[in-house]
Amino acid sequence: MDLSTTYAHVVPSETRATYHHGALRDELVAACVALIETEGIGAVSLRRVAREAGVSPGAPYHHFADRSALLTAISMQGYDLLTATLRTVKDSATTSAGALRALVEAYVRFAAEHPAHVHLMLRPELAEPHKHPDAQAAGAAAIAILTEAVIDAQRDGTVAPGDPEPLVGLIWALAVGIVTLWLDGPLESRCAQLGTTPQQLTADIGVLLERLVLGAQSPPAVGKPR
């Protein structure tokens, strides 16, 4: 059954006024984000999101073909927000090593502020980005900024020249690892035991990363002859 056809003619009183002035798509996305944050991704269906948004059950089909299309829209929104954040952080850094540290901290901070988005960004099988080329491009944009930062560090001699991908992968894995441990793992309880917070631990890890990057280029110490 073609639900988009079935619900093509809805009774105006069944939808909010926003449906008629073009804000329905944004409202559905916002309702879905709120639902994921409170009940998890498993609670999401187009019918449930419609109810949360206060519109008719068929209204979402005017904008989203199915559940994965809605989840993809949220994932893309997340990547757009993340890319803008990372660009600002990178361009504001005073040193290339400081930029690498700041990008890790910014990604973790973004995940804490946008957990629903990040859950979907890290679970492509739910959003099915392979069906949406724009989603793949959105995800690549964030990695491109990290790659730029590594290449900048290579150009000014902060890190060794060569293929930037190993260091890009290392920093990417570090950031995603912290986020995963925080959102879905024991990081918060572990930090409580240690008398710190995930935010402070992330900052400490960022400082350590910067020192390691700078230290990797320091000449080896010459010991006294024995």
Chain mean position to CA 155: 28
Range of the domain at 84: 68-215
**What are all long-range contacts of 194-199, with beta carbons under 8 Å and residues at least 24 apart?**
198/108, 198/112, 199/108, 199/109, 199/112
Are 156 and 125 in the same domain? yes
Per-residue pLDDT at 91 = 95
Residue 44: phi, psi to the nearest 5? -80, 125
pTM above 0.75, yes or no: yes
Give 10-residue mean pLDDT values along the chain (226 residues).
38 44 85 95 94 93 92 93 96 95 96 94 77 79 95 93 94 95 92 94 93 67 42
Per-residue pLDDT at 153 = 95
Q: Is residue 223 one of the residues assigned to a domain?
A: no
* CA distance linking residue 98 with residue 30, whole number of Å: 34
Are 83 and 16 in the same domain? no
Q: Is residue 198 one of the residues assigned to a domain?
A: yes
Are 43 and 149 in the same domain? no
What does each C-alpha distance from 39 to 53, 105, 223 come to in angstroms?
15, 27, 60
Q: Is residue 220 one of the residues assigned to a domain?
A: no
Are 30 and 88 in the same domain? no
Q: Nearest to residue 117, comparing CAs of 168, 154, 65, 73?
A: 73
Number of continuous H segments (helices) and E segments (strands) in the chain: 12, 0
Per-residue pLDDT at 167 = 94
Domain count of the fold of the chain: 2
Are 97 and 195 in the same domain? yes
Are 91 and 172 in the same domain? yes
